[in-house]
Amino acid sequence: MKYCQRFTELSNLFKQGTDCQLTETKTSIRFFSFGSTLCSDEALPDDAHIEENFHFEYPIFFPFGKQKHKSAILLLHGLNERNWNKYLTWAEYLCHHTRKPVILFPIAFHINRSPLSWSSPRALTSLLSYRRNKYTDDRSISFANVALSERISQNPERFYLSGRQTWTDLTSLYEEIKTGRHPLFSEGTHIDIFAYSIGAFLSQVALMANMKGLFSDSRLFMFCGGSIFHSMRGISRSIMDKAAFEKMYNYYVYTFGMEPITKWFRDRAFDAFFQMILPERFRTQRESFFEKIGEKIGGIILAQDTVIPYHGVQEALGVKNTEERIDLHDFPFPYSHENPFPVNLKDVSSVDHSFTNVFSRIANFFA
């Protein structure tokens, strides 16, 4: 596949909420409505009134022809994404080469689950000026990250609460699909997960919590993801500014879970998240879990990725399990965690080739 060319074509073709067909790969894109509910009384009052977060549409890529499918791949994205552009070519490739539907499900308060004002430079001008004046030496502040940065600075608890709501939503989605109530899927459908960046962290928590046993047979492939929280470095003009990241990091490393017992509803989801914060905390239980699921987990980490480092994955899964299941790759062109396949380089053939190498490996995992 000519990835760079296809990236531009799909970015121009894809319209949120509009079904379409990709004749080149015989793939349909169809949107489905989803209603999310507050998972507990822990939600912050300001967030409980963001209508976009509770009623939204998500796209599914699926092969032409077949009416009902018996298997699917759930695609989970990274932190601070405001559109699906990065993932369209990924989803099309996986759908075309596995012949399985690919479900693009947005994390709470991301993509189309957030107000348009969070990605509008005009609406964010005053907030950008405020943070630049407050943190004068922070060059990581940008239009792209200022909305998330301010929200995390105000309440770092939002990182956990967003993940928790998404985990609850995924449990509902799994139930809808596996019971045959979803129009695209047969009863008993098998669902695997392809997760990038923070989507991998969310997936690890979901598999560990395994609500109602729904995730017991899911395989998980992590791309640029899988690290213990302690080793993540999310400071980026595309993700979060330095002040916000430090506020979030300090809260989860030194405070979260140490508050009064009534602060949080402590169930299996809370316990799984808590185990993924520090490498030494519940190390034996965590590594034992990932060793037990064995070949159901795989991944690719990029050598020059500073946001999700390889050693952070070793801390999460254990050294032996990581060496057996997670590949360390590098590319012969400049790239970053946020943009692993840059489309604006002169040598597009090298990017095209690297994309195909990575995603053929991922497609084979789900075959």
* CA angle (345 as vertex; 122, 233 as ends), nearest 5: 60
For the chain, percent of residues with pLDDT exceeding 90: 93
Q: Which SS3 state, helix, strand or coil, does residue 195 take?
A: strand
Once rounded to an integer, what is the mean pLDDT over residues 265-275? 94
pLDDT band (50, 70, 90) for residue 336 = very high
pLDDT over 70 at 265, yes or no? yes
Tell me the C-alpha to C-alpha distance, in Å, between residue 5 and each of 61, 77, 98, 127, 236: 19, 22, 22, 36, 26
pLDDT band (50, 70, 90) for residue 1 = confident
Sheet hosting strand 326-329, strand order edge to edge:
20-22, 27-35, 55-63, 102-104, 69-76, 185-196, 220-223, 297-302, 326-329
Q: Residue 245 and residue 149: Cα distance in Å, rounded?
A: 8
Out of 1-5, 42-46, 242-246, pick the least confident: 42-46
pTM for this prediction: 0.97
pLDDT over 80 at 38, yes or no? no
Residue ranges of domains in the chain, CATH in brackets: 3-366 (3.40.50.1820)
pLDDT tens, position by position, 204-239: 999 999 989 999 999 999 999 999 999 999 999 999
Among 228, 212, 217, which residue's Cα sits nearest to residue 269? Answer: 212
Among 210, 184, 185, which residue's Cα sits nearest to residue 292? Answer: 210
Residue with tokens 């004002």: 117
Once rounded to an integer, what is the mean pLDDT over residues 338-345? 96
Higher pLDDT, 198 or 65: 198
Would you tell me how many other CB atoms lie within 10 Å of the CB of residue 8? 13
pLDDT over 80 at 345, yes or no? yes
Tokens linked to 338: 């946020």
Q: Residue 343 and residue 8: Cα distance in Å, rounded?
A: 8
Identify the pLDDT of residue 262: 85
pLDDT band (50, 70, 90) for residue 62 = very high
Among 184, 170, 195, which residue's Cα sits nearest to residue 77? Answer: 195
pLDDT over 90 at 92, yes or no? yes
Identify the pLDDT of residue 66: 75
pLDDT over 80 at 40, yes or no? no
Identify the pLDDT of residue 261: 84
| Mean pLDDT, the chain, whole residue set | 96
Identify the pLDDT of residue 45: 84
Identify the pLDDT of residue 39: 63
Q: Residue 143 and residue 147: Cα distance in Å, rounded?
A: 8
Tell me the C-alpha to C-alpha distance, in Å, between residue 35 and each of 54, 55, 172: 6, 5, 10
pLDDT band (50, 70, 90) for residue 144 = very high
Out of 35-49, 125-139, 151-165, 174-188, pick the least confident: 35-49
Identify the pLDDT of residue 217: 95
Q: Residue 2 and residue 355: Cα distance in Å, rounded?
A: 9
Angle between helix 198-209 and 283-293 (nearest 10): 90
